[in-house]
Amino acid sequence: MKHFVKIASALALALAPALASAQINYNGDTYIPPITNANGLVTRLASLGDVAVYLLIALAVLWIVYSTVRYFIMGKEGDEARKEAGMNIFYGIIGLFVIVSIWGLVALLINTFPTQNQIPGNLPSANFVKP
């Protein structure tokens, strides 16, 4: 378990610039605009949420692989440590399913109820008669 914590800490430190949005590429579509209004803030928070979901999925997969290796390395059939590793595999699969399901539900809701940037008071002028 100590090795897993060390690896997870090293991974978190390696991905810290991505979490802080410290990378800026002015070429192509990857430009990260500065936050100047509420839409920019929501966009930035959504992108950080995406990174968090990717990290959670990666950690869940690593947990399943780690538990699987422990399951096969553990002692004979019926050993308590082997049963615990088997339950950790089960919980890891359930956790991965929950993460991906919630992520899919949010994507479904976003695509069902699209939002648009509209300026209040920007009405078509064809409906008004000028004196």
Average pLDDT over residues 47-66: 87
Q: Which of 103, 15, 40 has its CA nearest to residue 31?
A: 40
Average pLDDT over residues 114-118: 58
How far is the C-alpha of 55 from the C-alpha of 2, rounded, in Å?
Answer: 19
Q: What is the pLDDT of residue 114?
A: 63
Per-residue model confidence as pLDDT tens digits over 67-88: 998 888 876 777 888 888 889 9
Per-residue model confidence as pLDDT tens digits over 15-46: 666 655 555 555 555 566 677 777 777 777 77
Q: Where are the domains of the chain?
A: 2-112
Sign (positive or negative) of CA dihedral 40, 41, 42, 45: positive
